[in-house]
Amino acid sequence: MLSALFLYTENQKKIKTVTSLSYKPISFTTMEILENTMIIDIIKESLNKSMNYHEYRTLVAALVEQQSTTGNDKTEALVEYTKMNDRRMKRWDKTVRLSDDSFEKITAYTKNVTWLVLTESWCGDAAHIMPVINKVAEQNANIDLKIVLRDENEDLMNQFLTNGGKAIPKLIAIDNKTLEVLDTFGPRPSIATEMVNVYKAQHGKLTPEFKEDLQRWYNKDKGQSTVEDLVNLL
């Protein structure tokens, strides 16, 4: 009669043998493919509920009339930001200009792409940036601008965090043939990003005074830094 110890030992050998034969570690390339497939599925889902710029502006104007805002939080402060941002976007829609050099580079672009932008109506940076993105996209039929709301597209937002945060606006440049992500932009033009990083390093956080200074910078810059960064995506 076989001893219990012998049977246990033999069973352990069998388990190890089966494990060694059946376990195949997933290669890094396979993991990349799986991750890319997941991102493409998320992008498809968000594109299905996206809106164009005109629809987005109509939505924001309607929210102002309703004393409301986009997003999960409907605080009085965010409602006021939405109202202020609607005025800002109206101004930028009329006044954003492109230099001859930028115009030539934009119109020469031949790849068929979608610029999918995550935003919310209350976002101060977005109020200055969205009209500029639209202005650039309008110049070239190969660039299809689509907009989704951050809080309604959490899976997409989580794939494109900035330093671990859900900062907006976030533009995702997508190849229309493959749905491959070509590049991203946001949440601010590169110069403004550097200003924010330096201030945070010196003061630990963004103060109301700095935020006012940043708004003045946007007004003085007139969207040209954003145009330059967007042209660099092409």
User: pLDDT of 131-156, one tens digit each?
Assistant: 999 999 999 999 999 999 999 999 99
Mean of the per-residue pLDDT values of the chain: 90
Check which CATH number belongs to the domain holding 143 and give it.
3.40.30.10
Distance of CA 15 to the CA centre of its chain: 48
Q: How confident is the model at residue 27, as a pLDDT?
A: 55
Give residue 138's domain range: 29-231
The model carries a pTM of: 0.85
**pLDDT under 70: residue ranges of the chain:** 1-28, 30-31, 33
Q: Is residue 7 part of a domain?
A: no
Residue at 19 is within a domain: no
Q: Is 15 within the bounds of a domain? A: no
CA 174 to CA 177: how far, in whole Å?
9
Query: Is residue 68 in a domain?
Result: yes
The per-residue b/e assignment along 169-194, b for 16 or more CB within 10 angstroms, e otherwise, is bbbbbbeeeebebeeebbbbbeebbe
Q: How many domains does the chain have?
A: 1
In a domain, 38, yes or no: yes
In a domain, 23, yes or no: no
Q: Is residue 21 assigned to a domain?
A: no
